[in-house]
Structure 1
């Protein structure tokens, strides 16, 4: 039985991967999903295959050199390094990437209060080559949460607002279960059912999901708002281990009060 379940899981994951890869090939986009084992964070690289303009979504500072190397190997012009929100569990790599790849600009939601070269608002468009990402405000995990939607590719990068069969916590950093419920249903689950959703994190080995799947199987967001609020208020989670370091650093592109090993590494660049 275990082997059958494992095989089924691999088949589902590979099917989603093929779906996303084929969509990108058909529409002239280069796409990579990158992973940080320490914080279970996903970083996404998207690029126009014709113009080579690229964006990175939710980079992690410890892996900024990995990301910069990939950009170089693929001969890309990194235009933007973007965050879905001010993270509490890891330090963003946007500041370091700006030093590793001069000319790229940092992006974050204006309402987040974080520093960046470009502040975006709900409804803004981020363009790279022939592609664009629509910015949608999704507060509830934090006030400054946004998702980035590629209508052309039928995909969305949902940050911590919506995870695979889950969602971001709402017990600190301006969190509100009421607000998050409304955000997810109005801005994410209202997308067409075949849109592929890519989260900022996953802790169980999932790589992506779809709007249709989450409308059917999400154990929290398929409930009524009242039930959802009760669930979120009863989680009793520990605070992220890196919150005291990550929050102040991420307000300034990851460049404030860094741990000693990261500060030394950054100053070398």
Structure 2
């Protein structure tokens, strides 16, 4: 059995944060942390005796502010982010095909999956894929801002994510229906936006969503491009 990630939830933004732990060791990686949960997340690390190696972002979020900068300052961890998201202060600027290493030989494979944003990435670790806002459980992220593209998202999901083994567990960046985990196989067969849908139908569907602008986008995106810290910090 592959080790399970620790899944944490932010009620305000319906955001999942994940802690990955190197089996048999103390090194850990946190994915998509939220600013007002920084003390909660630090308590989890302390309680489990973990040493944070990396703070990892899937993209520059529009609906919440990251705690990446604060966690880096408090723990000595390094920040890692997609190169195409403009998160300049991150020590590791990740490209498609990169491998992030932590612990005793633990590796996280980096997949560039544009569509929700131009720089969005997903991360594969031990039979798990952390999909950010690219692929949600029975859904997907919107494509109408931050250089989003329904065409690109269709290619990212069908060409890269659906090419993973069916048993790969899908851990999304958000959920709004009380769901927590899925599999690539289930999403390929049942995802209401993507399963058995042609590219043209998907692009048409995404173009007709008419979703409201995220309330925090004008604050969150610039903040997240600075790892959630005030500019100049």
TM-score interval for Structure 1 and Structure 2 normalised by the shorter chain: over 0.9
Q: Where does residue 2 of structure 2 map in the other structure?
A: 23
User: What TM-score, normalized to structure 2?
Assistant: 0.95
User: What TM-score, normalized to structure 1?
Assistant: 0.83
Structure possessing the higher radius of gyration over alpha carbons: 1
Q: Where does residue 144 of structure 1 map in the other structure?
A: 119
What do residues 139-170 of structure 1 show as CA deviations (whole Å, max 9, x unaligned)?
A: 011011000001xx211000100000000100
Question: Cα offset for 1:49?
Answer: 3.0
Q: Where does residue 132 of structure 2 map in the other structure?
A: 159
Q: Where does residue 235 of structure 1 map in the other structure?
A: 209
User: Of the candidates 87, 106, 109, which is equivalent to residue 114 of structure 1?
Assistant: 87
User: Of the candidates 94, 108, 125, which is equivalent to residue 68 of structure 2?
Assistant: 94
Q: Secondary structure at the match of 1:23?
A: coil
Q: Where does residue 198 of structure 1 map in the other structure?
A: 171
Q: Where does residue 263 of structure 1 map in the other structure?
A: none
What do residues 24-67 of structure 1 show as CA deviations (whole Å, max 9, x unaligned)?
A: 1xxxxx63100000000000001113221110000001101111
1:7-156 residue pairs with structure 2 within 5 A? 22-24=1-3, 31-101=5-75, 103-115=76-88, 116-129=90-103, 130-150=105-125, 153-156=126-129
Note the residue ranges of structure 2 that are not aligned, 5 or more in a row. Answer: none
Question: Cα offset for 1:131?
Answer: 1.4
What do residues 80-113 of structure 1 show as CA deviations (whole Å, max 9, x unaligned)?
A: 0010000000001101111221x10111011111
Q: How many residues align?
A: 229
Question: Cα offset for 1:127?
Answer: 1.2
Output the CA distance in 1 between the equivalents of 2:169 and 2:39.
28
Question: Cα offset for 1:178?
Answer: 0.4
Preserved CA contact (<8 Å) 1:45 1:54: yes
Q: Secondary structure at the match of 2:63?
A: coil
Q: Secondary structure at the match of 2:38?
A: helix
Please tell me whether residue 207 in structure 1 is matched to residue 191 in structure 2.
no
Q: Secondary structure at the match of 2:2?
A: helix
Runs of 4+ in 1 over 2 A off after TM superposition: none
Question: Cα offset for 1:132?
Answer: 0.8
Tell me which protein shows more helix as a share of its residues. Answer: 1
Question: Cα offset for 1:256?
Answer: 2.9
Q: Which has the higher contact order (CA 8 A, sep 6+)?
A: 2
Question: Cα offset for 1:114?
Answer: 1.1
Note the residue ranges of structure 1 that are not aligned, 5 or more in a row. Answer: 1-21, 25-29, 258-266
Preserved CA contact (<8 Å) 1:65 1:100: no
